[in-house]
Structure 1
Amino acid sequence: MAGRGNGTGGSGDDFDWVYGPGSSDGARPSSDPEPTRRIPVQRRPGATPPPPPTRLPPAEQYAGTPPSGRRPAPASPPPPAAPPARGPSGRGRWSRPRTYVRLVLLVLVLWLVFLVAVPLIAWNKVDKVDFEPSADRPAQQPGTTYLLVGSDSRAGLSPEERKRLHTGDAASELTDTILLLHTGDGPTTLVSIPRDSPLDIPGFGRSKVNSAYAKGGTPLLVQTLEQATGLRVDQYVEIGFGGLVGVVDAVGGIEICPKQRIKDKDSGLNVKKGCQEVDGATALAYSRARKYSPISDLARVQQQREVIAAVGDKVLSPWSVLNPVRWWQLNGAVPDFFRFGDTTGPVAAGKWALAMTKVEKSCTVPLARADTTWDTKRAQQLFGKIASDRTDEITDDLCTATGLAR
């Protein structure tokens, strides 16, 4: 190349750009006594000097060196901890709306299980009654007719409870309340049968209807009513004194609206006139009181229907279902004091309870006089329409509060 020698007859200056000025072959002395020395690196002003190299003691410098003479590679640092689980958007699990939706669904499922399980547990403890008489009975009829009996049985009540509730004789087995409830295509109809109604009791002659229960039990009572009304009893429900008290207290009390001040010694009732909240003991006394009124038994059946309607409203209120304590207490009161017919299942019992809250026509069996003697003609017309499920044709003169004609 021009200006650069190839070392054969050229000038030594040709390699000065490699070895520096001067020649190593002695042709021209070098001005640098150590031409191959390392030129120190000049640090820039203000730069931080590097740390001095770490040197191990001679004994440890080559410890653990593999036979190949190579030093082992330094240990890898531990992997960093995994970050908390996050969704595609980088948010935590509890910040996802889907997590809260699943939680709400789980709570709803558990709540539904609770609502269904509690009545089923209570139902398995309920006593069943063989209520169907063996004698001839009316043929099957459209709709469903329930017989509701309020027994004055004191079974399950302690002497202290009988005294507090003014229930009297522990051996009494009469039916203070007798109601026929019919549901079908027409309006749901509830008919009260006064307990002192004189009827023919098969095998015992003519007597008060409530004595049939004591003489022959539930089958004889059903037979007496079917014979007198022409209705076929499809389902049977019985409630004792304590049952009413337990149910009313379980729903937090009910409202009654007496039209006058009532002070009845026999039942223990002492209430003022007008609407008021009462507990179970007062509700029981109200449904039993009669001697304060000149129409005694007729006044009592009206009070009984009022209590039943008030209980039904409370039982089916949203709070009775949403409040787990009330739901548990309400169902827990059923096995101790309620009895159902042996053909009644939990579904039929539920339908009865629902029907009791939706009564559209409520009356007393047609009566000829205040002594509870039936008006046979009007009674046959009323029960004939119920038997044929034509309750929409029941007129006001057939269905009155006291049973007496207007």
Structure 2
Amino acid sequence: MLSAYGAHDRSHGRRPEVSPLPTPPRSSRPRTAPQPSRRPSARDARPPAPAPAPARRRPRWVMRTVTTLSVVVLASAGIGHAVLSSLDEDIERVDPFRDMKNRPEAGHGMNILLVGTDGREKIGREEREKYRLGGAPCHCTDTIMIVHISEDRDRASVVSLPRDSYAVTPPHTDRVSGERHGEHPLKLNAAYAEGGPQLTVRTVEKMTRVKIDHYLEVDFASFMKTVDVVGGVEICTDQRLKDSHTGLDLPAGRHTLKGGQALQYVRARHVDGASDLSRMKRQQHFMAALVDRATSSGILLNPMRFRDVTRAVLGSVRADEGFGTDELLDLGRAMRNFSPASSEFTTVPVAAVGHTVKGVGSTLKWDTEKSQRIFEALRRDQPLTGHRTRDEAQRVPVDPRQIRVQVENGTRTPGLGRRVDAALAAIGFGTTRAPVNAADRDVKRTVVAYDPRWDRSAKSLAAALPGSELRAVKGQGATLKVIAGADFEKVRKVRALDPGQGEFGVVRGDEVGCS
């Protein structure tokens, strides 16, 4: 994945940088459609609710946050049944699995389909104006995600399905006109407009061959409420973030964001030239920080605070009948040790942007081979990138591979320049492989000389040289200079703050939080 920082250290036109619910059966036997709730209520005697009104358009950030809210915050406490049972009635129910046939074979673990609707009408006028929540309505979902919870409850894998993905629906009845349609192409987010939750689930299963076990539909009113009830979420940025569209204006540093400002942070897409790509990075940062806040602050171990958080979320969601109190309890008991390192995030690989389809318009066409490998990993209950071990590398804002370095020997020790050059190259820095002697051969402390425009690259390089001195040299250019001094001992391993490395650009929650 590309860096959220855009093309350069700053916007100077420089080179790019990469800088607890009954647990699902722990077997592979096929599953039937979700069973009705085991506890009859007055609601059972009511006539069927009318078809839901078309959803308004809403940004992707809601779904990415709800992944955490619905799967982690709602299911990680292991508290008593009484605390949650009364909240079960707050959930509006839908039946997205009605009369579904020829479904994919069930695998291990649990797959939850998360879709987002707008719900901005639930937010007061003053707040809508303050946080720039205008925009035309859209009878569709703006974001769709599959959240896979592993069978051992040790991992959550989140796969985002782009809203403009090219899709082909199965035969269905249009929920607005009542007309019967055969299968036909459309953008994935339009499936909700034509057939609601049921057609959305059917279309996703058809495209991915991943069986969906539960369905959650949320709006971003719950996002703001939940961020506020957990006491805010801490994020950090090494540069100012300013977006005139959302009103976001954050100076560099650490910030604790409350609901409205957090909403601006995850919506912002005009802070640099990377647009949606950098917004996706910020969403990952926020989700990791939210998981960390929920799992480390004691919220999930305090029944009353947990109830308040749960109520804030459940008051704005719709879910299938099978997603209830017992499921929450059982899953929560299993997930007590869940942490940011237990989560991984990615987006379906795209082979073609601007794939034009007659009557549909410009779509995103998935990379068939790569996307199927991701979905196969979900079906097999495997990590998206295999098992990765933690290392002691220090996180830095710029990928070492994007940093050009000239090494100079500032001492009279023969071969020191070659040794420093080789050590930096070994951990990924783009050295010239041609070290030279410095003009001053009596340097006591190693120096990293850099053009001020490449200050983030300089900080990344200095992190690999413990004790080194940063020295700004205006006009030096893009190549950084290391003048090895008598204090040099070793090179420390570093890695990019936003890794996103590997074939699918997968990152763990602990890899995108504050360092």
TM-score between the two structures when normalised by the length of structure 2 = 0.50
- Report the equivalent of 1:389: 381
- Aligned partner (choices 184, 190, 206) of residue 150 of structure 2: 184
Q: Kindly provide the CA deviation profile for residues 10-44 of structure 1, in whole angstroms up to 9, marking residues without a partner as x.
A: xxxxxxxxxxxxxxxxxxxxxxxxxxxxxxxxxxx
- Aligned partner (choices 163, 187, 199) of residue 195 of structure 1: 163
Aligned AA (1:179): M
Offset of residue 343 of structure 1: 1.5
Distance 2:260 2:250 in 1: 12
> Does 2:285 correspond to 1:317?
no
Give the match's secondary structure for 1:252: coil
Aligned AA (2:208): T
Offset of residue 228 of structure 1: 1.4
> Does 2:260 correspond to 1:281?
yes
Q: How many corresponding residue pairs?
A: 291
- Report the equivalent of 2:198: 219
Aligned AA (1:213): Y
- Report the equivalent of 1:121: 86
- Report the equivalent of 2:505: 400
Offset of residue 189 of structure 1: 1.7
Asked if the contact 2:344/2:506 (under 8 Å) is kept, the reply is no
Offset of residue 246 of structure 1: 0.4
> Does 2:126 correspond to 1:160?
yes
Offset of residue 249 of structure 1: 0.2
Q: Kindly provide the CA deviation profile for residues 192-247 of structure 1, in whole angstroms up to 9, marking residues without a partner as x.
A: 22223233344574333222223321112212211111111111222211100000
Give the match's secondary structure for 1:237: strand
Whose helix fraction is larger, Structure 1's or Structure 2's? Answer: 1
Offset of residue 385 of structure 1: 2.1
- Report the equivalent of 1:368: 351
Distance 2:299 2:204 in 1: 34
Distance 2:380 2:300 in 1: 36
- Aligned partner (choices 369, 379, 388) of residue 377 of structure 1: 369
- Report the equivalent of 1:140: 106
Q: Kindly provide the CA deviation profile for residues 322-368 of structure 1, in whole angstroms up to 9, marking residues without a partner as x.
A: 66764443133123212222221224345389568563432221223
Change (3 A) 1:392 1:243: closer
Give the match's secondary structure for 1:368: strand
Alignment of 1:57-96 (within 5 A): none
Aligned AA (1:198): Y
- Report the equivalent of 2:494: none
Offset of residue 167 of structure 1: 2.5
- Report the equivalent of 1:342: 321
Aligned AA (1:251): V
Asked if the contact 2:241/2:251 (under 8 Å) is kept, the reply is yes
**Structure number with higher relative contact order (C-alpha < 8 Å, ≥ 6 residues apart):** 2
Aligned AA (1:359): S
Give the match's secondary structure for 1:257: strand
Distance 1:161 1:381 in 2: 43
Distance 1:375 1:401 in 2: 16
Change (3 A) 1:140 1:241: same
> Does 2:303 correspond to 1:303?
no
Asked if the contact 2:385/2:506 (under 8 Å) is kept, the reply is no
- Report the equivalent of 1:264: 243
Offset of residue 185 of structure 1: 4.8
Structure 1 gaps, min length 5: 1-111
Offset of residue 139 of structure 1: 1.9
Q: Kindly provide the CA deviation profile for residues 45-93 of structure 1, in whole angstroms up to 9, marking residues without a partner as x.
A: xxxxxxxxxxxxxxxxxxxxxxxxxxxxxxxxxxxxxxxxxxxxxxxxx
Distance 1:161 1:145 in 2: 34
Aligned AA (2:209): G
- Measured on the aligned residues, the alpha-carbon RMSD in Å equals 3.4
Asked if the contact 1:379/1:398 (under 8 Å) is kept, the reply is no
Offset of residue 252 of structure 1: 0.3
Asked if the contact 2:81/2:325 (under 8 Å) is kept, the reply is no
Offset of residue 191 of structure 1: 1.4
Distance 1:356 1:222 in 2: 29
Change (3 A) 1:307 1:218: farther
Change (3 A) 1:113 1:261: closer
Asked if the contact 2:105/2:211 (under 8 Å) is kept, the reply is yes
Distance 1:398 1:241 in 2: 31
Q: Kindly provide the CA deviation profile for residues 360-404 of structure 1, in whole angstroms up to 9, marking residues without a partner as x.
A: 4322212235665421111111111221223376496343159xx
Offset of residue 321 of structure 1: 4.5
- Report the equivalent of 2:17: none
Query: Identity of aligned pairs, percent?
Result: 33
Whose strand fraction is larger, Structure 1's or Structure 2's? Answer: 2
Give the match's secondary structure for 2:350: coil
Offset of residue 148 of structure 1: 2.0
Asked if the contact 1:259/1:273 (under 8 Å) is kept, the reply is yes
Q: Kindly provide the CA deviation profile for residues 110-156 of structure 1, in whole angstroms up to 9, marking residues without a partner as x.
A: xx999653332222211122222635321222221111223223353
Give the match's secondary structure for 1:247: helix
Offset of residue 160 of structure 1: 3.4
Q: Kindly provide the CA deviation profile for residues 261-312 of structure 1, in whole angstroms up to 9, marking residues without a partner as x.
A: 3333333322234432101112222222224454433333333333333222
Asked if the contact 1:267/1:285 (under 8 Å) is kept, the reply is yes
Give the match's secondary structure for 1:316: helix
